[in-house]
Amino acid sequence: MLTWPCDHPGCTSRTMLKQGECMSCGKHLCGDHFSDTEHQCLGYDSDEGDIAQWEIDQADVSTSTIADVPFGNVQYRAYVTTKAEGFAAPPLLYECINHFIGGNIMTNEEEFLTECYKKHGRPDLADCVENGRIYQRLSLIGQWNSAFRKIGFREIFEPDLPADFDPPVDEVDWRVYMMERYKDHRGLQELMKKIDWSIGRAKEEAEKWHQEQEEKERRNEAEKEEQYRVQGIDEGDGGQTEEVENNAASDDTITSGDVAGEDSMEKELEKVNIEESRKEATKVEDKGNGVKEDADEEEKEKAEGYSGAT
């Protein structure tokens, strides 16, 4: 566990970084001196023996920092900020792989939060969530962390960026670009001198990094080709395999066509047989109707003859 020496004069004890730190003066004090009445500083309440400084930090969602319990005393940490930042989504809802690689689209959790606000009649708070990414990126401004791709920071500030500001994507090139852009800045000159850096060194580092990336790509391609060769699916075999597969597919198509043709012929024959049967039945019916008509005519003639005789 990370510990720090007690800052009280003459004390050789060590204290944990979070639990023994005075929020006002920043001193790290052990348990014996943390509530010492001799420790007087802005915001320290000697009567209560606790920190009397209050902040409002809505973005801090970790229970260990919302309420620390150093030596039995509870500290509530917070800071006052704007409504737009205060109601932006906390890290719990947006920290994901997409955020690290430079993406700024809303997460499902953020969208769910906006829907909740709208459902309860607070579209203004939903708007804070929808436009809160700028504050989340701002919280990391000034912290160089290779886990976060810098393009994510640039994208969110694009409406307000200088027209000639167009840094490259890769961080090694980004560093060279920024050093050259602000090479006349006194603060940058002093910092580079202090840490023994130069534009020349930055360019060398960038060139070395690109060479390493190209070498990695070549190795990956070689490994893939070796895997294909071992599996017997390199370009030559792949072509033969493809030809065999195509021939097999053609045979399947022909066979399917033959089967389909036979089925079609059977259906046509069935239709012809049905049609012939229907015609035959019609003939028989017509013949029967004719016989009936002849009999009716004969009966009619007999009746007329009988009437004449009478």
For the segment 18-41, what is each residue's pLDDT rounded down to a tens digit? 444 554 455 666 656 555 444 444
Residue 133 or 282, more confident: 133
- Put simply, whether the predicted model's pTM sits higher than 0.85 gets the answer no
Residue 243 or 134, more confident: 134
pLDDT at 52: 36
At residue 117, does pLDDT exceed 90? yes
pLDDT at 32: 60
pLDDT at 190: 94
pLDDT at 51: 38
Domain ranges of the chain: 1-80, 84-210
At residue 198, does pLDDT exceed 80? yes
31-87: pLDDT as tens digits: 565 554 444 443 334 344 443 333 344 444 444 444 444 544 444 455 678 888 888
Type of residue at 133: R
At residue 260, does pLDDT exceed 50? no
